Amino acid sequence: MTFPKQIRNLIEAFERLPGVGGKTAARLTFYLLHVPDEEINRLGNAVLNLKKDIYYCSICKNISDKEVCEICSDPARDKGLICIVESPLDVFSLEATGKYKGLYHVLHGVIDPLHNMGPEELYIDSLMEHIADSGKRIEEIILALNPTMEGEATAMYLKNKIRNSNFEIRISRLGMGMPTGGDIQYADETTLQQALAGRRDYE
Ligand SMILES: [Zn+2]
């Protein structure tokens, strides 16, 4: 037995989402069949409008509804500190700790040759511009990349790139406490606070 085409289409669309398997995709689809039309419309419109008026901040590449994001334009933030992360979700998690007052730079990925992600696919050039434009104001760069093989390779690449550019900047990494293979976006606030407070020089 095969499902009607509309149902198959939606199941396939859900299956392409990260972390959604075939069974979950089917369950979500059949759940939506019973949902009132107005709720379906709300969901459909939210998906359709998702990318409208969403920008990457021209400075830090975090998602924003303005050209320069709230964090970069906040005069109270410490402009001497840049925390480099893989994804906007990591910014969200670090902001939830309430302990970090510096700026961010979002790479939108990590170096991952198996998935054809090289340094040129990431926002590394704009990071170097961000650093150069800040002149001598930047005192420290925190490499807050996930403790995965790709995260390690990216941290190493960035450290060498920054060192070779002759910027006199302290480079640090998040401290212990981050579980190996664990993602920043899934770490709880206390773990992240400790990882920030216990950050160490990356030589
Ligand atoms: Zn920004």
Same domain, 36 and 117: no
For ligand 1, the distance from its centroid to the CA atom of residue 68, given in whole angstroms, is 5
Alpha-carbon span 157 to 56, nearest angstrom: 23
- Domain containing 97: what range? 69-201
CA of 52 to the centre of ligand 1 (A): 18
Number of domains into which the chain is organized? 2
Question: Domain containing 96 — which CATH number?
Answer: 3.40.1360.10
pLDDT per position as a tens digit, 70-108: 999 999 999 999 999 999 999 999 999 998 999 999 999
Q: How far is the CA of 116 from the centre of ligand 1 (A)?
A: 27
pLDDT digits (tens, 9 = 90+) for 119-131: 999 999 999 988 8
Instruction: Measure 62 CA to ligand 1 centroid, in angstroms.
Output: 6
pTM recorded for the entire structure: 0.80
Average pLDDT over residues 171-181: 73
CATH code, domain with 31: 1.10.8.420
Looking at the structure, do residues 76 and 44 belong to the same domain, yes or no? no
pLDDT tens digit string along 41-73?
Answer: 999 999 999 888 889 999 999 999 999 999 999
